[in-house]
Structure 1
Amino acid sequence: MSDQNQPVTPSCSATPVTPACPVTSTEQIPLNVSETAIVSVPVTPTIKVPVVLAEPTLQIVVESDITLSPPATEIKRVVKNVFLEQVKLVPVSFTRIDGTDFFEVNRAKLFVSGFIRKNIEYASNSCNAPLQDRIADVAFNGFADLTTFLTRPKLAFGQTNTANFLNEKNQIVPRLDKFFFQNLVKYNEQPFGELVAANFFELDFSPVMASPEGTFSTLREKIVLDLTVKVLQTQQIKLNTGATQQVPKLPEISFDC
């Protein structure tokens, strides 16, 4: 019988593919993993950490006019964020800490400034026009009176003294060209702020009422912003109870001579 009628059996061996861009690689060896023993040592550490002084919610009220170009026929969406440029604490009343030259702050003014970033999406009066986008930064600034603190700020004041001298040749007149100065400078941790939350209540409208298919080029907005900030100061604190120091128990080293 002729071999032409026999079925062709495909070869089981595939042609190897040679990598076009080979690089040198090393197979990694699995490593053993074991827990490190920990020894707890009771301690009363003194730490220096940021401490929350106050966490007030400030109500900020602003009004602004925003120009829209091209004119709008309908506002679709408004997305808002708040950016703080300043959170500064100015103390105005103090109480000395007994036995020290440090003072606790009883009352302070909190200065806050920043801006509300608004992203306004709106439609023009064209039937198939793309949505328009307008970004506006609405600035605000103000201050609040802080009288309640979670932890009071602490400050130390410097001191400057001056000694004057009499004229050596005429004991009834002073010398204006000779002085002794003493300056004591104490450096304090600066209170600082953090942004916590912003709750917006807003009314947007055209100052001139437009018809249903008409357009308007000015958007007037009245915003009430409840802004929550955290005021902190780095302070030194001693932990008296409940603290343990975690010391890893590593293989011991012999110090024998």
Structure 2
Amino acid sequence: MKNCNSCNKTPQQQNEVLCPVPSTQQIPVADHSIPLCETPNQHPTFKVPVVLAERSLQIVVEANIPLDPKATEIKRVTKNAFLKQVKLIPVRFDQIDDTDFFEVKKAKLFVSGFIRKNIEYSSHDCQGVLHDRIVEVPFSGFAELDSGDFLTRPIIGISDSEKAYFLNDTNGEVPRLDKYFFQNSVKYNEQPYGELLGANFYEIDFSPVTVEPEGEFSPLREKIVMDIFLKVLQVQQFKVHATRIIPNMDNGLG
């Protein structure tokens, strides 16, 4: 005979929720667009981050990772890339008109950071727990950026320092060594900076010494090829042609 636990329950009991929670039914509200007041032919000036370059850099690293306890089998390895430094060093310039500002047409891009690895592995215990090892593998390097690599050229202002000398007041044949005139012009620049987009990892992990099946090994040697993708940006100022838009909200006075 078939066992039926709900045969003796009333229809109301059968429809009851096992673990009810309180809820509130939402009521629809009126929804209308806000009229816009447009003022065309405006020429606002914006100071915004500008993408200087989008680059893919290939980093190659090798490391030995000690494992304690020793491993018999690597189960899973996950990775993330972290950038600690992105620095753009200009080396060639084009002057902007007659100003002390220059567009960078060639630069060195220095990057550094680390790869954070999470290694899960088993030991020689037949029914032992999985062990977890977290390490940070550092990397660093630089890339050459030429004029064609820039989407928008970086801008840098050059500071200047001048020094004037004087003759001796009583003897016009010798200079005064205790009297000088100094003139300094200092320009503070927006520092280019980096933004991490993503990374691809290609690696091989192995024991540096050949071991038998179920044999233990430590350290774990890894060889990693990482393609890291990043943006290089700088805050710059632009004047654009635009239409100013102001929301025209009804105040109920009309």
Scaled to the shorter chain, the TM-score interval is 0.7 to 0.9
- Provide the residue aligned with 2:111 in structure 1: 112
Number of residues of Structure 1 aligned to a counterpart in Structure 2: 223
Residue 249 of structure 1, CA deviation: 2.1
- Provide the residue aligned with 2:134 in structure 1: 135
CA distance in 2, matches of 1:178, 1:64: 60
Residue identity matched to 2:182: F
**Alignment partner of 1:247 is 2:246:** yes
- Provide the residue aligned with 1:214 in structure 2: 215
- Provide the residue aligned with 1:161 in structure 2: 162
5+ residue gaps, structure 1: 1-29
Whose Rg is larger? 1
Q: Cα RMSD over matched residues? A: 1.9
Residue identity matched to 1:179: Y
CA distance in 1, matches of 2:197, 2:159: 34
CA distance in 2, matches of 1:33, 1:55: 42
Secondary structure at the counterpart of residue 169 of structure 1: coil
CA distance in 1, matches of 2:32, 2:66: 66
CA distance in 2, matches of 1:167, 1:111: 50
- Provide the residue aligned with 2:18 in structure 1: none
Residue 31 of structure 1, CA deviation: 8.7
Residue 34 of structure 1, CA deviation: 5.2
Residue 244 of structure 1, CA deviation: 1.7
| Identity, % of aligned positions | 61
- Provide the residue aligned with 1:195 in structure 2: 196
- Provide the residue aligned with 1:20 in structure 2: none
Please give the per-residue CA displacement for 1:195-254, whole angstroms capped at 9, x wherever unaligned: 0111100010000011111010110000001011100000111223xx3211122458x9
Shift >6 Å, 4+ stretches: 30-33
5+ residue gaps, structure 2: 1-27
Normalised by the size of structure 2, how large is the TM-score? 0.83
Residue 106 of structure 1, CA deviation: 0.4
Secondary structure at the counterpart of residue 187 of structure 1: coil
Residue 101 of structure 1, CA deviation: 2.6
- Provide the residue aligned with 1:228 in structure 2: 229
1:36 pairs with one of 34, 37, 45: 34
Secondary structure at the counterpart of residue 208 of structure 2: coil
- Provide the residue aligned with 1:17 in structure 2: none
Residue identity matched to 1:75: I
